[in-house]
Amino acid sequence: MAVVSFCEVEFSYDRGFLQDALRESHQSLKAVVERHLSDKSVSRLAGVFALASRGELLDSLFAGQVDEDVLKLSRMLRKELDRGLL
């Protein structure tokens, strides 16, 4: 929901908030999958979240002019949120 909000509401982007949300999501997902995945796969998951949480990446996606592809993804997420699927 934060990603959608950052795209829909100008000047609402908050890097720290998004990084905290990604960190919490990673911990929640890890708790669910670590019993079922190998250590190598759990490590790969950590790598994905580490990459996605990089401040420079988040700033390039949400600070200033938002890219059309990010807006398209945001619209798709909004549809799913409105339908109650997310």
Give domain limits for the chain: 2-83
pLDDT digits (tens, 9 = 90+) for 9-53: 888 899 999 999 999 999 999 999 999 999 999 999 999 999 999
CATH superfamily of the 2-83 domain? Tumor necrosis factor alpha-induced protein 8-like (1.20.1440.160)
Looking at residue 67, what DSSP letter applies? P
**pTM to 2 decimals?**
0.79
Q: What is the pLDDT of residue 66?
A: 80
Cα 34 from chain centroid (whole Å): 20
Looking at residue 54, what DSSP letter applies? -
Whether the predicted pLDDT of 86 surpasses 90: no
pLDDT digits (tens, 9 = 90+) for 46-85: 999 999 999 999 998 888 778 888 889 899 999 999 998 8
Q: What is the pLDDT of residue 64?
A: 77
> Which pair of tokens denotes residue 85?
């699927």
Kindly give, in sequence order, each residue whose CB lies less than 8 Å from that of residue 70, ignoring residues fewer than 6 positions away.
7, 61, 62
